[in-house]
Amino acid sequence: MQDYFYENPTYGPIFLRRRLRMQKELFLCIVDAVQGEDGYFRMSHDAADRNSLTPLQKCTLAIRQLVTGVSADTFDEYLKVVDTTRHICLKKLCRAVIRAYDAEYL
């Protein structure tokens, strides 16, 4: 989050474009669209009242898997997310994008 999305990010927009293969504005538009399509991408709390991953984190995780085309295990140390969460994020993102953009683009 601090690397790309805070007001004064650690890395500038060029680095975000390299990581996600898209402009920050397009990425944020996709995040907004999938939040409207699937409640999984909204901020929530677990039974212990801990915050879940943010919508930005979930979308970044899934899109990074798509744009790099490598195994989800590659992101273990960098993103610190368990395998089931990576798989769920990717699956739900794909379905939400299809629902959100089907009429216009597909």
- pLDDT at position 12 is 80
Domain spans in the chain, listed from the N-terminal domain onward: 24-105
Q: What is the pLDDT of residues 73-101, one digit of tens each?
A: 666 555 667 777 888 889 999 999 999 99
Sort 33 into a burial class: Cβ within 10 Å, 0-12 / 13-18 / 19+.
Answer: middle
Q: What is the pLDDT of residues 37-81, one digit of tens each?
A: 999 998 887 777 888 888 988 898 888 888 887 766 666 555 667
| pTM for this entry | 0.80
Residue 63 contacts residue 90 (beta carbons within 8 Å): no
